[in-house]
Copies of this chain bind each other. A is one copy, B any other.
Amino acid sequence: MFTFKTHIRMGDTDAAGILYFVNQFQIAHEGFEHFLDSIGLGVGHMLENTDYRLPIVHAEADYKAPLKVGDPLTVCMTAARVGHSSISLLFHLFNRHDKEVGTVKIVHVAVDKTTWKKRALPIEIKDAFEKHLR
């Protein structure tokens, strides 16, 4: 399990006074990026030095409690499934009382950077996420 901490920022909220739903996906994706950075396979590296991309084909989120500006969050990422060419990631968001306040699921598929055709997951990506498979 990969964990990171963040906060709800003013720009994450909307006029209803709580987290604007769209930004829960942004928070989860930041976790994905932090994880790739932590294993030396960051998105910047991917874009500049590799011939694959990992576009998202499905994303979903549940919202279990309203989140306000300044609220601290702990985000836990696991891989629900690592397939031949795709990865399903789960993110669980916890508030300061360790209560789960939301979840996100994101499915990435490996494609060729030029043709955008599906391909096998790069071995280093497959290995990294298998280690984090729940």
A residues engaging B (CB < 8 A)? Answer: 7, 9-11, 13-18, 20-23, 25-26, 29-30, 33, 37, 42-45, 47-48, 53, 55-64, 66, 68-71, 106, 116
Contacts and interface: CB of A to CB of B under 8 A. Distances in A.
Please give the count of copies of this chain that the complex contains: 4
A69 B43 contact: yes
Nearest to A65: B116
A10 B22 CA distance: 11
Given A10-B43, A63-B58, A70-B42, A26 B22 contact: yes
A63 B55 contact: yes
Given A14-B13, A59-B61, A70 B26 contact: no
A110 to B, nearest CB: 13
A9 B25 contact: no
Given A29-B11, A44-B68, A57 B63 contact: yes
